[in-house]
Structure 1
Amino acid sequence: MDKQYDLIVIGGGALGAFHAYHALQAGLSVALIEKDKQPVGATVRNFGQVVPSGMDTKWQNYGRESLKLYNDLQSRFDISVRKNGSVYLASNEEEVQLIEELSLINKGNDYESHLLTKEQCLDKYPGLRNDYVKAGLFFPEEVTVEPRVMINRLLEYLISQKGLIYFSNTKVIRCEAWGDEVEIETAGGEVFKSKKVLLCCGSEFKTLYPEVFAKSDLEVTKLQMLQTKPQAGYTLNGSILTGLSIRRYEAFYECPSFKAIKAKENPDSFEKKWGVHILFKQALDGSVIIGDSHEYADAANIDDLGFDLRMDIDEYMIEEAKKIFNLPTFEIQNRWFGMYSQCKENDIFQHTVDNNIHIVTGIGGKGMTGSAGFSKENIKQIFNLS
């Protein structure tokens, strides 16, 4: 017998799961189909830093809505949220100027932040090197999550508490509109019908709609990250973003001095070539995650990025990290890379097929921070909800 729903979401990562959440909140019947046993893509391969502070004004608003949802979910069901704030550490006078300008912008946005003196930074963050930091900008409302824990607990919550119908290890091979409904077929021969379909998985986008995929402006980013062994007796709270992050994150593009400061940078430097900026986050086991880098290819040429880890990038990130923090150990226990898709010209890829099939992907590095807030608005638009 055909299974029928108001909405079928294809892809169980953050973008798909939060769309499912908001549809369920609106009283819709929702099925979510995930091709793997559990999500294994970009959602589980990032830092787990929820930092609206790093986004431009549009996406900061989505991120702030996401913060509300993360905190609300955590109050009901442990999804690993820790409200421990984010800090941007300036290492020279140019970066100090940028954090001061961003502080003023956030006052105008009514988003709480606090400028920290050098001494306050050194006092707040153990091991921070005196010869690196000049000042900091702290955002107390921001949170961290453990990505691999968060997404699976979120799905568990949606299934047990909200009535989500979840199919894992299920590959969609056909998605077609028939009048006012959509019919999808899985590799196992099951047929599902719904009023709407949301496709939030890049690989199945490529499989199901190859012509649309080929014409899209999607590109794929490969990021390398490292994880130290647990740091005995050491605590590093929150998301730590440093000078190279200040020079890279979109929020700073809105600062009056940003363009002139960027123009002075050496375009041939190693960090420019590989898109390196240094981030730190302590995981629940006491280890510290360090990263990351950015290597790009058109989505159609994802294989050009390869599957190897570049040791020169890892070594560079470790050496730069040592200039910022004196951690008890820099012995590395894990190394990995993540992949995410983003648009070259737009902030997210959206395309509608036959009115009722909505492709939403390419959220880029904004996924963990922006998905929850963006999905709330998008579900309202798709279903014409007030």
Structure 2
Amino acid sequence: MSKSAIVIGAGIVGLATARALATRGYQVTVIERSEKAVGASIRNFGMVWPIGQPEGKLYERALHAKSIWKEVLTGADCWFYEGGSLHMAYHQDELEVIEQFAEVSAYRPVKVLSAKDTLEKSPAVNPAGLLGALYSDDEMIVDPREAIAGVPRYLQSKLGVTFIWNTAISRIEYPTVYSGSKKWSADEIFVCSGQDFETLYPEVFAAAPLTKCKLQMLRLEAQPDDWKIGPALCGGLSLIHYDGFKAAASLPGLKARYQQDYAEYLKWGIHVMASQNGLGEITVGDSHEYALTFDPFDREFINTMILDYLGTFARFKSPKVFQTWHGIYPKMKNGKTEIVLKPEEGVTIINGLGGNGMTLSFGLCDEVVGGTYQEL
């Protein structure tokens, strides 16, 4: 008789856990408090982003996750685009960082492009003052809103996963989980609750180095005439945001300049990227504020700063904004990429992936369920 498992939460971490369990023969039930996932997993760029990960285990995990994404999205008949990424350089110190990164990253499919080659790669790049760009072939874009809705259909139809929606689990006493008078039992329980880490095992989470991050984002309307931007686009500020670029020796110098030239941007954790979905819409962001509780109100000046900086490296056929929002995700305070805890026998918590959820979850959860996970 096959083993059973309950997964609490149908965001990307919960879905990745459910897939890892189901492919290993478990009878899996996913229980989600809302009628569909509406948290951080649908409020992001949809970027599967290996270039942001440092060399070694995290980079390999990102590539593994990407391969699972392709398998699942193909099975779910969902759109994805393997267009790679461009990080533009408009100052000599930015160009030095990307040249150094490319030089020490022989294991990655990256190259430094001239200004001319960059403009050929994407018609959306701002040519004014452009020195060149780093092109990476690794990155893939999914539409998070479509994907996070499509993956459950795939898991249900292809792998026999059961989904219970509109049901908040408020208590666990292994092997049973409770929602009011309703209860379910399983051999293993996985808590993948994202930013809601106050409800289940609150003492465990309170003792962990976790906080929350609020990000403001925007979406531009579908571009006219089916116009495509090609790769995901990034400005120089993204070079100091992702750990992968720490391999470049001159990165501290670039960061020091930004601390002077872009002090207000760094205060609000702003770096700017743009990705285009299958409908032609362009997602732009983002900012980063850290706390356990946030005001529910977005700051218009942050959106203005994001759009102003976007204009330094990208120009679109239509710049019309038709949606703005914010997302909140859990974030480790100790520099780790995730937290995996066992609060009691038979129960596993997977949380804290921060902005790496879309990039790493499928790989991480495959390791945790498969017994190969090692904390980095």
> Shared fold by TM > 0.5?
yes
Deviates further, 193-202 or 41-50: 193-202
Deviates further, 113-122 or 67-76: 67-76
Q: Which residue of 1 aligns with 2:313?
A: 324
TM-score, length-normalised on structure 2? 0.93
Displacement of 1:151: 1.2
Q: Which residue of 1 aligns with 2:93?
A: 94
1:49 counterpart letter in structure 2: M
Whether the 8 Å contact between 1:50 and 1:143 is mirrored in structure 2 is yes
Whether the 8 Å contact between 2:340 and 2:349 is mirrored in structure 1 is yes
The 5-angstrom pairing of residues 54-93 of structure 1 reads 54-57=52-55, 58-93=57-92
Q: Which residue of 2 aligns with 1:184?
A: 177
Tell me the SS of whatever aligns to 1:208: coil
Q: Which residue of 2 aligns with 1:142?
A: 139
Displacement of 1:290: 1.3
Once residues 27 and 269 of structure 2 are traced to their aligned partners in structure 1, the CA distance between those partners, rounded to angstroms, is 42
TM-score, length-normalised on structure 1? 0.91
Deviation string, structure 1 residues 194-215 (Cα, Å, up to 9, x no partner): 1211101035531121212222
Deviation string, structure 1 residues 5-39 (Cα, Å, up to 9, x no partner): 62111110111101110111111111111110011
Whether the 8 Å contact between 2:329 and 2:355 is mirrored in structure 1 is yes
Q: In 2 relative to 1, CA 317–172 (structure 1 residues): closer, same or farther, beyond 3 Å?
A: same
- Any gaps of 5 or more consecutive residues in structure 1? none
- Any gaps of 5 or more consecutive residues in structure 2? none
Q: Which residue of 2 aligns with 1:343?
A: 332
Q: In 2 relative to 1, CA 69–203 (structure 1 residues): closer, same or farther, beyond 3 Å?
A: closer
Tell me the SS of whatever aligns to 1:106: coil
Tell me the SS of whatever aligns to 2:51: helix
Once residues 285 and 95 of structure 2 are traced to their aligned partners in structure 1, the CA distance between those partners, rounded to angstroms, is 22
1:116 counterpart letter in structure 2: L
Tell me the SS of whatever aligns to 1:235: coil
The count of aligned residue pairs is 369
Once residues 350 and 76 of structure 1 are traced to their aligned partners in structure 2, the CA distance between those partners, rounded to angstroms, is 29
Once residues 335 and 240 of structure 1 are traced to their aligned partners in structure 2, the CA distance between those partners, rounded to angstroms, is 19
1:198 counterpart letter in structure 2: F
Deviates further, 263-272 or 241-250: 263-272
Whether the 8 Å contact between 2:195 and 2:212 is mirrored in structure 1 is no
Whether the 8 Å contact between 1:5 and 1:31 is mirrored in structure 2 is no
Q: Which residue of 2 aligns with 1:370?
A: 360
Once residues 365 and 156 of structure 1 are traced to their aligned partners in structure 2, the CA distance between those partners, rounded to angstroms, is 25
Whether the 8 Å contact between 1:132 and 1:324 is mirrored in structure 2 is no
Whether the 8 Å contact between 1:14 and 1:43 is mirrored in structure 2 is yes
Once residues 80 and 44 of structure 1 are traced to their aligned partners in structure 2, the CA distance between those partners, rounded to angstroms, is 15
Displacement of 1:323: 2.1
Residue number among 14, 32, 40 corresponding to 1:34 in the alignment: 32
Tell me the SS of whatever aligns to 1:256: coil
Once residues 48 and 73 of structure 1 are traced to their aligned partners in structure 2, the CA distance between those partners, rounded to angstroms, is 15
Residue number among 297, 313, 316 corresponding to 2:302 in the alignment: 313
- % identical equivalent positions: 28
Q: Which residue of 2 aligns with 1:45?
A: 43
Whether the 8 Å contact between 1:199 and 1:205 is mirrored in structure 2 is no
Question: Would you say 1:104 and 2:103 are equivalent positions?
Answer: yes
1:321 counterpart letter in structure 2: L
Q: Which residue of 1 aligns with 2:114?
A: 117
Q: Which residue of 2 aligns with 1:241?
A: 234
Once residues 148 and 229 of structure 1 are traced to their aligned partners in structure 2, the CA distance between those partners, rounded to angstroms, is 15
Whether the 8 Å contact between 1:50 and 1:142 is mirrored in structure 2 is yes
Tell me the SS of whatever aligns to 1:306: coil
Once residues 195 and 243 of structure 2 are traced to their aligned partners in structure 1, the CA distance between those partners, rounded to angstroms, is 27
Tell me the SS of whatever aligns to 2:364: helix
Once residues 352 and 197 of structure 1 are traced to their aligned partners in structure 2, the CA distance between those partners, rounded to angstroms, is 10
Displacement of 1:254: 2.5
Q: Which residue of 1 aligns with 2:268?
A: 274
Once residues 293 and 203 of structure 1 are traced to their aligned partners in structure 2, the CA distance between those partners, rounded to angstroms, is 17
Once residues 310 and 213 of structure 2 are traced to their aligned partners in structure 1, the CA distance between those partners, rounded to angstroms, is 22
1:205 counterpart letter in structure 2: F
Whether the 8 Å contact between 1:91 and 1:133 is mirrored in structure 2 is yes
Q: Which residue of 1 aligns with 2:161?
A: 164
Tell me the SS of whatever aligns to 2:19: helix
Whether the 8 Å contact between 1:342 and 1:349 is mirrored in structure 2 is no
Deviation string, structure 1 residues 298-345 (Cα, Å, up to 9, x no partner): xxx32xx21111011111111121222222222211111111111101
1:339 counterpart letter in structure 2: I
Q: Which residue of 1 aligns with 2:171?
A: 174
1:56 counterpart letter in structure 2: P
Once residues 212 and 195 of structure 2 are traced to their aligned partners in structure 1, the CA distance between those partners, rounded to angstroms, is 12
Displacement of 1:354: 1.7
Q: Which residue of 1 aligns with 2:149?
A: 152
Once residues 184 and 31 of structure 1 are traced to their aligned partners in structure 2, the CA distance between those partners, rounded to angstroms, is 12
